[in-house]
Structure 1
Amino acid sequence: MHELAITQSVVDAVCERAEGRPVLSVRVRVGALTAVVPDSMRFCFGLITEGTAAEGAELEIDRKAGAGRCRTCAGEFALTDSILLCPCGSADVEITSGQELQIVSMKVG
C-alpha cells in the first residue's frame, strides 16, 4: 500500500509549512493514472495526522482524469488505465494528464 508513504510525505510537508499552527484542511490533486486509491489515502491520513498539527484536518482529494496525445495521428483522448493505446491503433502515446500528485492548498488556524 504505497498510499501510506505518499500520505506521510503530504502530512510532513503540510505540517512543516504550517509552522506549528493547526491545519484545518488539505487539498491534494491525484491523477487517475497514479494508482493511488483515494479511500486508502483518506484512511492513512486519519492515522498519520494523529498527534500532529494536522490532527482532525479534512483531506480533500481532487481527481484528475487521465489523457493522452498520439504522436502518430496527433489525436487527443481519455486514458482510464495505463494501457497506452490510441484509438487509431498506435502505441506511440504521450500522457498529458493523470499522473499528477500534488498538494494544491491548505488552510491553517
Structure 2
Amino acid sequence: MHELSYANAMLEAILNSIKKEEEKGKKIKKVTEINLEVGELTFINVEQLKFAFEVIAEGTVCEGAKINVEFIKPKCKCLDCGYEGEPEILDEFEVYCPKCKSIRLKLSGGKEFNIKNATVEYED
C-alpha cells in the first residue's frame, strides 16, 4: 500500500510548512483543505490515500482536512510510429501507443504527486 507512504510525505510536508509559518509569528489553528495534483501513472488509489491520511493526521492540525485530487494525464512519444499524445493505459504494467500498439514510448508527465496548496484557518 504505497498510499501510506504518500500520505506520510503529505503530512510531513504540510507540518513543515506550518512550522515555517509559525516561526514567522503566524498561528495556524487548522488545515481545512488540501489540493493535490496526482499523475495517472502513480496508480494511487485516492480512497486509500484519503483513509491513510485521515488515520495518520489524527491529533494534528490536519485532522479532518478535505483532500481534493486533480489527475494529471501522461503524454508520450512513440519511438516506432512517431505518435505524440496520450498513451493507452491498461494498468501499471501495460502502457502503449494507441496508434500502433508499441510499448516503445518516451513518457512525460503522469507521475507527479504535488501538494498544489492547502487552506488553513489562523488563530485570532
Q: TM-score, normalised by structure 2?
A: 0.77
| Structure 1 segments of 4+ aligned residues over 4 angstroms from their partners | none
* CA distance in 2: counterparts of 1:59 and 1:85, whole angstroms: 31
Which of 47, 60, 64 is 1:56 aligned to?
64
* CA distance in 2: counterparts of 1:49 and 1:108, whole angstroms: 15
Q: Which runs of 5+ in 2 are unaligned?
A: 23-27
How far off its partner does 1:39 sit? 0.7
Matched residue, 1:6: 6
Deviation readout 1:33-63 (Å, 9 max, x if unpaired): 1121011001111111111111121111111
Q: CA RMSD in A?
A: 1.7
Number of equivalenced pairs:
109
Deviation readout 1:3-35 (Å, 9 max, x if unpaired): 011101101101110225221211111111112
Name whichever structure is richer in helix by fraction.
2
How far off its partner does 1:102 sit? 1.1
Q: Which runs of 5+ in 1 are unaligned?
A: none
Matched residue, 1:84: 95
Matched residue, 2:114: 102
Quote the sequence identity (%): 28
Matched residue, 1:44: 52
Residue identity matched to 1:2? H
Q: TM-score, normalised by structure 1?
A: 0.86
1:89/1:55 CA distance change after superposition, 3 Å = closer
Matched residue, 1:15: 15
Higher Cα radius of gyration:
2
SS in structure 2 of the partner of residue 84 of structure 1 = strand
